[in-house]
């Protein structure tokens, strides 16, 4: 029945005709979306107007290193962080096991000459396990987020400032342990002359070289890289310092000084963008402490 | 009827699509709930640590005296006597050492409480440091007294797993 044929025609009502002739539905106007860009370091969406990323403090408006944008993703960081904390827990467990075995066998097997290279064998054994774990973590986690390249002047300044910084940390170390020895009679840094060149070489390897390389690889390379795109530089330094101090469960009274040393090493890593300076500082620090015990 | 061609496409970014933005906020609220659990754990562990070690700190002198008296009585049983000058020196040093250990552990409890309060402001650092300090505390006291490792081991494992999950939630919460 055509429209308008009669009064009873339901299609003859004017409102129906008006709706039929009304304009087609239009979508409500959308407000202009805020312009955002993807941060070159952490990958999060940030407003264009901001000069720095609010999540990782990366400066915007500069050309990011191509490697940092292409190779590193925040999701990978999250998984790496979880795995690295798992490895850290395993290493702490091994430290507990080493301490327990040392406690149980110290009176059972006093045959070893004290301060001989043979007396360092248990330490070498557990350090070998830690080394394997750290290299396994490195292979499992993969390449960590590369740091932006630092200017040669900044690296030179970092090396120059690190020397008096290390001297202050060593002074704090000796003062702190002297105060401990005086106050509670605790053996902080014990005097223990080594028996022969074999013991000296073994001590340099076990106390200076291995910790400098392996610990820096784990804390200032793997953990540093995993945390770097999640939090800011200063936060990364202090979180890794707490982990570094906590890893030395065999010397709980020395943890406050180790926290300060860890911060120095972390800032050295942050300032230079490389591991060379932290490794050298760590080696020199342990070497000076070893020399102090040998006098 | 003209075709409807102006509806927003589901392939648009979250910033421009309100529907996808609501899904993001639901995920964020789920992560916030996990962070709330982490905050509760850190604060409760911190309060318990502070209270127990605070009591032990106050009781350190009495505890050392008990141990020394027991050793003196053991010596007397074997017909030996103790040099009282040395005993006094050992007593003072032992009291200071115990007070140092209990005081440091009580301070650790304060740190846990502070981390729990700051978990929403700094989710990743606080959860990571909380887990690290908790495991390190177990390790240190395990070295001092290996028997203590087995005490409450199930409870400790539950706390460690919860803190580990809170780290993952913190990373996702920060990214959201």
Write the DSSP symbol of residue A108. Answer: T
Tokens linked to A201: 């070489």
Contacts by residues B18-21 (CB-CB < 8 Å, ≥ 24 positions apart): none
Q: Find out whether A154 and A271 touch, Cβ atoms under 8 Å.
A: yes
CB contact under 8 A, B143 and A96: yes
User: Is B125 in the A-facing interface, judged by CB distances under 8 Å?
Assistant: yes
Residues in chain B closer than 8 A to A82 (CB atoms): 164, 167-168
Set of chain A residues whose Cβ sits within 8 Å of the Cβ of B131: 85
Does the pLDDT at position B117 exceed 90?
Answer: yes
Q: Is A192 exposed, middle or buried (0-12, 13-18, 19+ CB in 10 A)?
A: middle
Tokens of B114: 């502070």
A230 neighbourhood in chain B, CB within 8 Å: 124, 171, 174
The mean per-residue pLDDT over the stretch A222-248 comes to 90
pLDDT at position A15: 43
Q: What is the pLDDT of residue A27?
A: 53
In this predicted structure, the answer to whether residue B77 has a pLDDT above a threshold of 90 is no
Task: Encode A1-58 in three state secondary structure.
Answer: CCCCCCCCCHHHCHHHHHHHCCCCCCCCCCCCCCCEEECCCCCCEEECCCCECCCCCC
Q: Which two tokens stand for residue A48?
A: 């264009």
Beta bridge partners of A52: A59
Interface of A with B (CB under 8 A): 24-27, 30, 33-34, 36, 44-45, 55, 74, 77-78, 81-82, 85, 88-89, 92-93, 95-96, 99-100, 103, 183-186, 227, 230-231, 235, 238-239, 242-243, 246-247, 249-250, 252-253
Write out the DSSP string of A55-100: TT-PBSSSPPPHHHHHH--HHHHHHHHHHHHHHHHHHHHHHHHHHH
Q: Per-residue confidence at B141, pLDDT binned at 50, 70, 90?
A: confident
* CB pairs < 8 Å spanning A and B: 100
Q: Cβ contacts (< 8 Å) between A103 and chain B: which residues?
A: 143, 146
What mean pLDDT value characterizes chain A?
77
A288 — pLDDT class (breaks 50, 70, 90): very high
Q: What proportion of chain A, given as a percentage, has pLDDT over 90?
A: 29
Do residues A36 and A60 make contact, with C-beta atoms less than 8 angstroms apart? no
Q: Which residue has the higher pLDDT, B28 or B114?
A: B114
Q: pLDDT tens across B27-67, in order?
A: 667 777 888 888 999 999 999 999 999 999 999 888 888 88
Residue A278's pLDDT band, with cuts at 50, 70 and 90, is very high
Band of the pLDDT at A246, cuts 50, 70, 90? very high
Among chain A residues, CA nearest to B161: A86
| Window from A19-23, A145-149, B21-25, B34-38 with minimum mean pLDDT | A19-23
The continuous run of DSSP H or E covering B156 comes out as: helix B153-175
Query: Quick check: B4 pLDDT over 90?
Result: no
Write down the domain spans for chain A. Answer: 37-72, 74-294
pLDDT: which is higher, A120 or A271: A271
Phi-psi map region of A15: left, alpha, beta (phi>0 left; psi -120 to 50 alpha): alpha
Rounded to 5 degrees, φ, ψ at A182 are -75, -35
Q: Between A235 and B144, whose confidence is greater?
A: A235
* pTM reported for the whole predicted model: 0.74
The whole-angstrom separation of Cα A214 and Cα A208 is 11
CB neighbour list of residue A232: distance below 8 Å, 6 or more residues apart: A56, A57
Check residues B20 and A162 and name the one with the higher pLDDT: A162
For residue range A177-234, list pLDDT tens digits in order.
Answer: 988 888 877 555 455 556 677 778 888 888 899 999 999 999 999 999 888 878 888 9
Picking from A242, A251, A262 by the largest number of B CB atoms within 10 A of its own CB, the best residue to mutate is A242
Cβ count near A129 (within 10 Å): 15
pLDDT at position A226 is 86
Q: What are phi and psi of A287, to 5 degrees?
A: -65, -40
In this prediction, residue A61 carries a pLDDT of: 61
The tokens for A245 are 């101090």
Question: Which of A1-10, A62-71, A94-103, A281-290 tops mean pLDDT?
Answer: A281-290
Which of B125, B131, B174 is nearest residue A85 as measured by Cβ atoms? B131
CA distances (Å), B43 to each of A246, B56, B135, B151, in order?
A: 20, 20, 16, 21
- Cβ separation B143–A250 shorter than 8 A: yes
Predicted pLDDT at B7: 46
pLDDT in tens, A128-185: 888 998 988 888 876 666 667 788 888 999 999 999 999 999 999 999 998 888 887 7
| Inter-chain touch A249–B140, beta carbons under 8 Å | yes
Distance from CA of A90 to the nearest CA of B (A): 10
In sign, the C-alpha dihedral spanning A149, A151, A157, A160 is: positive
Q: Looking at residue A144, what is its pLDDT?
A: 62
Confidence at residue A14, expressed as pLDDT on a 0 to 100 scale: 44
């Amino acid at each position: 029945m055509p429209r308008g044929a009669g009064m009873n025609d339901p299609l003859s009502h004017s409102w129906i005709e008006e709706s039929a002739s009304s304009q087609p539905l239009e979508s409500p106007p959308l407000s202009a979306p805020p312009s955002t860009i993807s941060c070159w370091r952490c990958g999060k969406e940030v407003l264009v107007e901001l000069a720095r990323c609010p999540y990782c403090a990366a400066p915007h408006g500069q050309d990011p290193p191509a490697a940092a944008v292409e190779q590193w993703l925040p999701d990978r960081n999250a998984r790496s962080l979880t795995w690295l904390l798992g490895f850290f827990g395993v290493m702490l467990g091994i430290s507990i096991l080493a301490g327990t075995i040392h406690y149980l066998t110290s009176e059972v097997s006093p045959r070893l000459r004290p301060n001989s290279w043979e007396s360092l064998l248990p330490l070498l054994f557990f350090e070998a396990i830690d080394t394997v774990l750290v290299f396994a973590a490195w292979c499992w986690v993969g390449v960590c987020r590369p740091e932006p390249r630092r200017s040669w002047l900044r690296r030179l300044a970092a090396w120059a400032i690190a020397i008096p910084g290390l001297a202050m940390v060593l002074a704090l170390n000796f003062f702190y342990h002297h105060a401990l020895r005086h106050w509670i009679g605790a053996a902080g840094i014990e005097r223990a002359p080594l028996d022969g060149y074999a013991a000296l070489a073994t001590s340099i390897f076990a106390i200076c070289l291995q910790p400098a390389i392996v610990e820096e690889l784990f804390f200032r390379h793997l953990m540093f890289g995993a945390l770097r795109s999640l939090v800011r530089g200063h936060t990364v330094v202090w979180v890794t310092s707490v982990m570094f101090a906590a890893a030395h469960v065999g010397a709980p009274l020395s943890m406050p000084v180790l926290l300060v040393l860890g911060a120095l090493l972390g800032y050295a890593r942050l300032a230079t963008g490389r591991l060379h300076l932290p490794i050298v500082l760590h080696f020199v620090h342990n070497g000076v402490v070893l020399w102090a015990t040998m006098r | 009827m003209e075709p409807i061609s102006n509806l927003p496409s589901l392939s648009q970014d979250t910033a421009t699509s309100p529907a996808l933005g609501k899904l993001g906020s639901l995920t964020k609220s789920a992560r916030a709930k996990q962070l709330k659990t982490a905050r509760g754990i850190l604060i409760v562990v911190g309060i318990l640590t502070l209270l127990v070690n605070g009591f032990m700190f106050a009781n350190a002198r009495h505890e050392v005296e008990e141990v020394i008296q027991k050793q003196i009585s053991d010596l007397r049983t074997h017909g030996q006597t103790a040099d009282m000058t040395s005993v006094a020196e050992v007593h003072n040093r032992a009291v200071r050492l115990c007070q140092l250990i209990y005081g440091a552990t009580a301070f650790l409890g304060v740190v846990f409480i502070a981390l729990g309060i700051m978990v929403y402001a700094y989710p990743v650092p606080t959860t990571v440091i909380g887990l690290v300090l908790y495991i390190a505390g177990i390790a240190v006291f395990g070295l001092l007294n290996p028997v203590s490792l087995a005490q409450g081991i199930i409870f400790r494992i539950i706390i460690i797993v919860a803190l580990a999950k809170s780290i993952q939630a913190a990373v996702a919460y920060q990214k959201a």
